[in-house]
Chains A and B, each alone.
Chain A
Amino acid sequence: MSDTIRSTRRPRRFRVSRRFLPYLLSLPALLTCIGILIPFGTAIIYSLQRYRLSQPWNRQFNWGKNYVDFFYDPNFWNTVKVSMTYAFTAVTLQLLLGLGIALLLQKRTMFNNFVSIMLLMPLMTAPVLASLMWKLMTNPGFGILSHMASLIGLQDFRWGSDPKTALLTVVIVDIWVYTPFIMILLLAGLRSLPKQPFEAAALDGVPRLFVFWRITLPMLMPFLLTATLFRVIESIQQFDIIYAMTQGGPGNTLMVFQVEAYLNFFQATNVGRSAALLLILWAITYVLSSIFIKNWLRLREKQRGEA
């Protein structure tokens, strides 16, 4: 009822488009992306086939067999484990480090602003190229980092070429490239927090650690979730760094989903297995992201309610 009353006061032109307006605004974006569903659908079909480019005569639907085979395949479970470990380790360390740096740079000074922009440089270095440089820096002969490691007593530190330190090495490169992304998001978050709660807490003499845990962190949560969301998606699908550093080796130490799928596709030309592997990766990403997004929306609703 109230709608009709209000709308009589508005120009007619506006009223007509009112219902379609949101669709008019959002559909172009959707339509642009929707095309991707076609290759996506094709990939699903591939994943249900026994399909190897080098044996075209063998191509036929085997329905879920590619997936069922994974269940009994120790290499597959290794891939799941490595991908999860990698994503969890890299993202956790990046969050801690990114948060720490953001706290250090929180104050708006010329110096802090300058440093925050400088720190974006690793993010601007394409991961493929960054990996090449790290590989050179960790070379046991002319690598500066190996040289430095030997100066502090790590004589034979083998970085990416030893199964024991390979994960650590690629995680360090990942941290180097992507921590700035988290840092900049969290820095923006920190600087946008309202001042009143902090001033009140300071007046009451509340310990700073307590303020951090009970005020800063909860208020920063949406930013943390956004940063985590994008980083989790990307790190569970990590390819560039690992492929360039070790091609998934030594042994199967760093065989993550996309590296395995890449080798399956481009080298073995086993399209069916590759597609099935990637669809499982997609499902994992989907579930993880949905959890994050649900929490993000809930948090924002809650905050909006408080504001």
Chain B
Amino acid sequence: MDTTGPVERVLRGIAISLVILFFMFPIFWILLMSFQTNETILRVPPSMVFEPTLQNYRALITGRLETQTSTLEIRFMSNLYNSFFLSATSVAVGLLLGVPAAYAFARLKFRGSEDIAFTLLSFRFAPPLLVLLPLTIYFQQLGLSNTYGGLIWVYQLIVLPLILWIVRGYFEDIPADVEYAYRIAGHDFWATFWKVSLPLAMPGIAAAGLLAFIFAWNNFIFALVLASADKQPVTVGALAFVTASGIQYGQIAAGIVLSITPTFLLAILAQRYLVEGLSLGAVKG
């Protein structure tokens, strides 16, 4: 594997540059846009030369958007908070429910285990729109509409299958010997689970949690239909810059940058786990 010739190294270099260009250029462009006014963004032809301005970020953070005619109140920061709160809580709940279940499916083969596992995954198969309308009606009757609780429950449909699937694979690949040895030493099941199995599976759990967080963060349709204005996440909130009197591209760009930042920081923090954690067979080595 280490015997790479110079030609191959050059080819690899070109390939990786192209990949970075394709995936990072739009991000770079968005970043540039976030420091421009609408007028410079809409120039023909587009240009990279402009006088940077912080007005987009200022508008988002202070919550006041000065347009030509009036001052608009924007709730972007509270949208950002909602996104964070909804995603983090949903993932926490998802982990709490999903990790023990994943362990059960991986370790304790029991009657109906595959059926239950498949059923859990299959909740992901239902198109979101299918359940959405009846759900609004039931939420109304149950008093769940417009509550964080109701949303977090619905978000389980997004996060739980993903967590289950990844963490289960991870547990399956941790050799059972370690746990067995600990148990022989006289510890009961819960102690073993808590002290041995969980720490061993930590990278997998972290990685699954992060991916689930991203998918929860990016969700659009559930929150749109089920939550009122004060509970909306950024995916809906950012559309507020598409106004009848014009699209505020600069603010949308700044909004995207701000909405990527928390997840990106999280990814950097979890960097070590992220790749290793998804390596189902990491321990097998």
Residues of A within 8 A of B (CB): 11, 13-14, 17, 21-23, 25-26, 28-30, 32-33, 35-36, 38-40, 42-43, 46, 100-101, 104-105, 113, 115-130, 132-134, 136-137, 141-144, 147, 176, 179-181, 184-185, 187-189, 191-195, 198, 202, 222-223, 226, 230, 233, 237, 239-240, 257-258, 261-262, 265, 271, 274-275, 278-279, 281-282, 285-286, 289-290, 293, 297, 300, 304, 307
Contacts and interface: CB of A to CB of B under 8 A. Distances in A.
Nearest to A179: B23
A46 to B, nearest CB: 7
A240 B221 CA distance: 8
A43 B20 CA distance: 44
Contacts of B172: 300, 304
Contacts of B132: 39
A194 B173 CA distance: 13
Contacts, number: 266
A142 B125 contact: no
Contact of B114 (A29, A43, A118, A297): A297
A188 B45 contact: no
12 contacts: A11-B188, A29-B97, A29-B120, A30-B116, A40-B126, A40-B130, A42-B134, A141-B42, A188-B207, A233-B125, A240-B221, A265-B133
Given A29-B98, A32-B97, A188-B277, A104 B12 contact: yes
Contacts of A13: 188
Contacts of B211: 181, 184
Nearest to A106: B1
Contacts of A180: 23
Nearest to B108: A22
> Ordered nearest first, which 4 A-B pairs have the shortest CB separation?
A188-B278, A192-B279, A39-B134, A42-B134
A274 B19 CA distance: 40
B132 to A, nearest CB: 8
Interface stretch (B57-65, B70-78, B158-166): B158-166
Interface string B119-155: 1111111111111111101100000000000000100
A35 B135 CA distance: 10
Nearest to A226: B165
Contacts of A285: 125, 127
